Amino acid sequence: MVRSNTGRRLHRIAIYALFGIVALYTLFPFYWMIASSLKSGQAIFDVTFLPDLKFNNYQAILSDGVFLRSLLNSLIVAFSVVALSLLLAVGAAYALGRIDFRGRSPIMLLVLAVSMFPQIALLSGLFEMIRWLGLYNTIGSLIFAYMIFTLPFNIWVLTTFMRDLPKQIEEAAIMDGCSPLRIVRCIFLPMMGPALISTGLLAFIASWNEFMFALTFILTDENRTVPVAIALISGSSRYEFPYGAIMAASTIVTVPLIVLALLFQKHIVSGLTAGAVKG
Amino acid sequence: MMSGSRSAGLRQARVRTAWLFLAPSLLVLTGVALWPLGRTFLFSFTDALLTEPDFYSYVGFDNYRALFEDPLWWQSVRNTLYFTVISVSIETVLGLTIALLLNSHIAGRGVMRAIILIPWSIPVVVSARMWQWMLHDQFGIVNHVLKLAGLIETGVAWTANSALVMPVIIAVDVWITTPFMVLLILAGLSMLPRGIYEAASIDGVPAWKQFTSLTLPLLAPSIAVAVLFRLLDALRMFDLSYVLSSNSDDTKTVSIYAREVLVNFQDMGVGSAASTAVFLMIALVTAIYVTVFRLNRRLMGV
C-alpha cells in the first residue's frame, strides 16, 4: 500500500492528537493534585490553573507527627514484605522450578489458587490468627497478612523464570557436592536480577497501596500506614477544610511511586505480564 | 551398579531438599491463607462475636438465612455485579483502543507507556481522594469547567447524588485500571507474528478487515486473561467505594458489606457467612469464565 505524503502526515497528526488526549486524561488529575497542594489557605477555593507555590500544606502535614509516623510505618512494611516474600519465594521457586518431585504440580496449583483468594474471604480467620500471634494493632500484622498477595505471585513468577534456565548450569555444582543453599546463592541468584527486581517492585507497590487489611488490623493512629492515614483525614478532626492537607499528603505518598514507575517501567511491565501471560 | 545407587541417593537428597526449601513458604501460606479460609468457613456456622472469638456455639445455617433475608446484602451483590460488568467492559474496549494506538511504530510511545503506568501504580485511596476533590460540589474543578462551558448552572453533587455516585465510581475505576488492560494487551500484541500482516497487505486486505479477522482472533487469548484478572479484582472492590462514598448503600460492594458486619457490628457469624458467600461467588464466576474461555479456544482451533 503506497500512501501519499500528506496522507501519512495526517495519520501522524491524528495519532499524536490521540496521544495528547490520553496523556491529558491521565496526567491532569496529578497536576491538579500538586497544584492544589501548593495553594495555601483561601486560595484553594479559587480555581486557578497555576499553583501558588506556597508550602503551608506541606509544613502542616510534615509537622504532624502522626503523618510522618505513618510514612515510616508504610516504608517498614513495604520493605519487610519485599524482603520476606522474595526470600521465601526464591527457596520455593528453586524447589518447584529445578527439582522434579512428586507433589510439584499440586503445590503449583495450590499457589495459583491462593493467589486468587479474595482478601475478604479470609478476614475473620486472619483476624483470629493475628490476635493469636499477638500481632493485632502492630505493623507486624500487615507484614504477615501481605504475604497472601505477594508470596504466591512471587513463587509463580520466579518458578517459571528458574524453570526456563538451562539444565546444565547446576549439574557440575551438584556433582561437586555443593550444598543446595550454595547453589541457589552462587549460581541462581546472580542470574535472577531482572526477575527479582520485577517481583520486588510489584510487591513494594502492592504493600505500599494496600488499604483493607491496614484499616482492619490497625487500631490506633501511630501504627497506621499512609493509605489509611490519608483516607481518615477529614474536616471534622484536625483540619478545617481538609483538601489542601489531603493533596499534600497524597503528593508525598505518590511521588516515590511515580519515580519507581518511570525508572523501572520495563521491569514492572514484564513482571505484570509474566504473572498474567504465564499464569 | 555403584553409580546407580549413587544417583538414586542423589535423587532422594534432591527431593528432601525440595521439601526443605518449600517448607517455610508452605507454612506461611497455610498460616495466612488456608487456615484463615477454613476458620472463616467454620465461623460462618457459629454465633461468634469479634470481641470474644473463643466463645461460640454452632447455629447451623442461621447466619446464611439472616444474610439472604437482608435486602442490603442483595443490593450489595447487585452493586458489585453492576460495577464489575460495566467497568470491565469499558476498560476492555478502551484498553484495546489505547493499546492499538501505542503499538504503532512512532516516536514517543515509550514515554506514553510510562505515563499510563502511573494511575495504576499509585494507591487507590489517593486516586479516590484526588477525584473526590476534583468532583467537589462547590470548589471542584469539574463543576467549575462545566459552569464555564454553560452546561450546568449550579454545582453537581457528584458523590452525594444517589443516581450519579455509581457512574462516578465506574469512571474513576476506568481511569485507574485501564492502564493495566493496555499493558497486558500490548504484551499480547507484541507476540503476534508480523509475517501474516505483510502477506495480508500484499493481498490487498483492507486495514479494518485485517483487524477483525487477524488481530482480534489472535489477540483473544491475551484479552481473555486480562479480563479474568480484572474480573477477580473488580468483584472484590473495596477501597474506591469506601473512600469515595463511604456508607452509601448505592455503592456498597459485597466486600464492604462483609467487613461492615464483621468489624462495625462485631458479628463474626454473619460476617463470615458473607465472606464465604463472596468467596463462592468469585469461585463460581472464575469457574464459568474459565470453562467458557476454554470452549472458545477450542472453537477457534487455537
The type of residue at A120 is I
Sequence-distant (≥ 6) Cβ neighbours of residue A78 within 8 angstroms = A204, A207, A208
| Whether the Cβ atoms of residue B269 and residue B44 lie closer than 8 Å to each other | yes
Sequence-distant (≥ 6) Cβ neighbours of residue B160 within 8 angstroms = B137
Residue with grid cell 501505542, as numbered in its chain: B102
| Gap from A13 CA to chain B (nearest CA, Å) | 11
Q: What residues does each domain of chain A span?
A: 5-37, 63-278
Q: Give per-residue pLDDT as tens, B164-214.
A: 889 999 999 999 999 888 888 888 888 787 777 778 878 888 877 888 888
Q: What residues does each domain of chain B span?
A: 1-31, 62-300
The grid coordinates of residue A28 equal 491532569
Residue of A76, A44, A82 whose CA lies nearest to A60: A44
* Nearest CB partner across the interface for B141, out of A27, A47, A144: A47
Sequence-distant (≥ 6) Cβ neighbours of residue B197 within 8 angstroms = B210, B214
* Nearest CB partner across the interface for B112, out of A19, A180, A247: A19
Residues of A in contact with B255 (CB under 8 A): 118-120, 212
* Nearest CB partner across the interface for A18, out of B101, B134, B272: B101
How confident is the model over A258-268, as a mean pLDDT? 84
- Cross-strand bridge partners of residue B46: B58
Q: What is the dihedral of CA B279, B284, B286, B289, to 10 degrees?
A: -160
- According to the model, what pLDDT value does residue A276 have? 58
Hey, how many other C-beta atoms are within 10 angstroms of the C-beta on B269? 26
Residues of A in contact with B286 (CB under 8 A): 116
- According to the model, what pLDDT value does residue B252 have? 92
CB contact under 8 A, B187 and A92: no
Residues of A in contact with B45 (CB under 8 A): none
Classify domain B62-300 by CATH number. 1.10.3720.10
Instruction: Show the DSSP H helices in chain B as ranges.
Output: 2-29, 35-43, 62-68, 71-102, 109-121, 124-134, 141-148, 165-190, 195-202, 207-210, 216-235, 239-244, 254-259, 268-300
Lowest mean pLDDT among A63-77, A235-249, B186-200, B209-223: A235-249
- According to the model, what pLDDT value does residue B296 have? 54
ipTM: 0.87
The chain A residue lying nearest B22, using CA atoms, is A92
The chain A residue lying nearest B7, using CA atoms, is A175
Angle between helices A65-98 and A193-209 (to 10 degrees): 140
Q: B91 or B52: whose pLDDT is higher?
A: B91
- Taken in order A133, A134, A137, A143, the sign of the CA dihedral is negative
Phi, psi for residue B46 in degrees, rounded to 5: -125, 175
How confident is the model over B104-108, as a mean pLDDT? 74
Lowest mean pLDDT among A98-107, A233-242, B33-42, B224-233: A233-242
- According to the model, what pLDDT value does residue A211 have? 94
**pLDDT class of B5 with cuts at 50, 70, 90:** low
Cβ burial of A24 (10 Å; 0-12, 13-18, 19+) is exposed
CB contact under 8 A, B122 and A254: yes
Residue of B140, B31, B201, B192 whose CA lies nearest to A147: B31
CB contact under 8 A, B15 and A101: yes
A155 CB within 8 Å of a chain B CB:
yes
Q: Give per-residue pLDDT as tens, A109-153.
A: 888 888 888 889 999 999 999 999 999 999 999 999 999 999 999
How confident is the model over B13-35, as a mean pLDDT? 91
The rounded mean pLDDT for chain B is 86
- According to the model, what pLDDT value does residue A259 have? 87
How confident is the model over A179-191, as a mean pLDDT? 82
**pLDDT class of B22 with cuts at 50, 70, 90:** very high
The type of residue at A205 is I
| Gap from B126 CA to chain A (nearest CA, Å) | 6
- According to the model, what pLDDT value does residue B300 have? 43
**pLDDT class of B123 with cuts at 50, 70, 90:** very high
Q: Give per-residue pLDDT as tens, B139-158.
A: 888 888 888 888 888 878 88
Lowest mean pLDDT among A13-22, A225-234, B101-110: B101-110
The grid coordinates of residue B282 equal 468469585
Q: Euclidean distance between the first and final Cα of chain A, in Å? A: 39
CB contact under 8 A, B33 and A257: no
Residues of B in contact with A122 (CB under 8 A): 32-33, 36-37, 40, 275
Separation CA A28–CA B297 (nearest Å):
40
**pLDDT class of B125 with cuts at 50, 70, 90:** very high
Residue A239: is its pLDDT beyond 70? no
| Gap from B124 CA to chain A (nearest CA, Å) | 7
- The fold adopted by the segment(s) A63-278 is MetI-like fold (1.10.3720)
| Whether the Cβ atoms of residue B234 and residue B88 lie closer than 8 Å to each other | yes
* Nearest CB partner across the interface for B32, out of A32, A36, A145: A145
- According to the model, what pLDDT value does residue A279 have? 39
The grid coordinates of residue A36 equal 492544589
Q: A3 or B182: whose pLDDT is higher?
A: B182
CB contact under 8 A, A144 and B272: no
| Whether the Cβ atoms of residue B245 and residue A202 lie closer than 8 Å to each other | no
